[in-house]
Amino acid sequence: MTKIKEVLVVEGRDDTARLRQVLGPVDTIETHGSALDEATLALIAKAQKKRGVIVITDPDFNGEQIRHKIVAAVPGVKQAFLRRQDSVPSNRHGSLGLEHASATVIKQVLQQVWTPDSQDKMTIPAQVLVDCGLTVGPQARKLRELVGDKLHIGYGNAKQFARRLNMFQITEIQLKTAVASAKEELYER
């Protein structure tokens, strides 16, 4: 993997340590939890202007809160999404986290970063999400999770998921291809 020029935004020192173990010397900004202060946001904004930023937070509620705050305050940051199943601690104690991800997963995730489009336009009609089974139905949550993994945009509830599809300019064809693949996987189980 080539050297990462951007500054990586992570939640804590364990995440920084894991990234350096896997990637070598990388620069990080640690948010120290979801109570993101103005000084940290200003530092992230400065890093974005100078070198660019990649946000890679834990795939849990707090990680999503941090990501949302950063995206709102610093437009154009790149985002990398970990899957929940790739972030589980080996000893089953503790919470989901980047520090638990394998070296292979970390490298793959950082090769599939997204830069959101700041324009708030709908690229996929809401009815398509319904027709695909992503917003209603007994398997909607699991299907959104699988499709989010396939598109590398992470998991979100129905509203968040629709916003991410539009933010990352996922086309209807890309979505339907991912849904078909996810449904095959879902129904094989």
Residue 177: per-residue pLDDT: 95
Q: Measured between alpha carbons, how far is 28 from 20 in angstroms, rounded to an integer?
A: 9
Beta bridge partners of 53: 7
Summarize the confidence of residues 175-189 as an average pLDDT.
89
In this prediction, residues 153-165 reach a mean pLDDT of 88
Mean pLDDT over all residues of the chain?
88
Total domains in the fold of the chain: 2
Are residue 137 and residue 95 in the same domain, yes or no?
A: no
Is residue 22, in this structure, part of any structural domain at all?
A: yes
CATH number at residue 97: 3.40.1360.10
In a domain, 167, yes or no: yes
Residue 179 is assigned to a structural domain of this protein = yes
Q: In this structure, what are the phi and psi dihedrals at residue 30, rounded to the nearest 5 degrees?
A: -100, 130
* 145 shares a domain with 106: no
- Same domain assignment for residues 131 and 101: no
Same-domain check for residues 62 and 87: yes
Does residue 52 share a domain with residue 28? yes
Residue 116 lies in a domain: no
Percent of the chain with pLDDT over 70: 94
Q: In this structure, how many other beta carbons lie within 10 angstroms of the beta carbon of residue 38?
A: 8
Residues 41, 32: Cα–Cα separation, whole Å: 12
Q: Residue 181's domain spans which residues?
A: 126-188
Mean pLDDT for 104-133 is: 82
pTM score of the predicted model: 0.71
Q: Phi/psi zone of residue 187: left (φ > 0), alpha (ψ -120 to 50 degrees), beta?
A: alpha
Claim to verify: residue 16 and residue 105 sit in the same structural domain: yes
- Identify whether residues 13 and 84 lie together within a single domain: yes
Domain match, 105 and 138 both: no
Predicted pLDDT of residue 169: 84
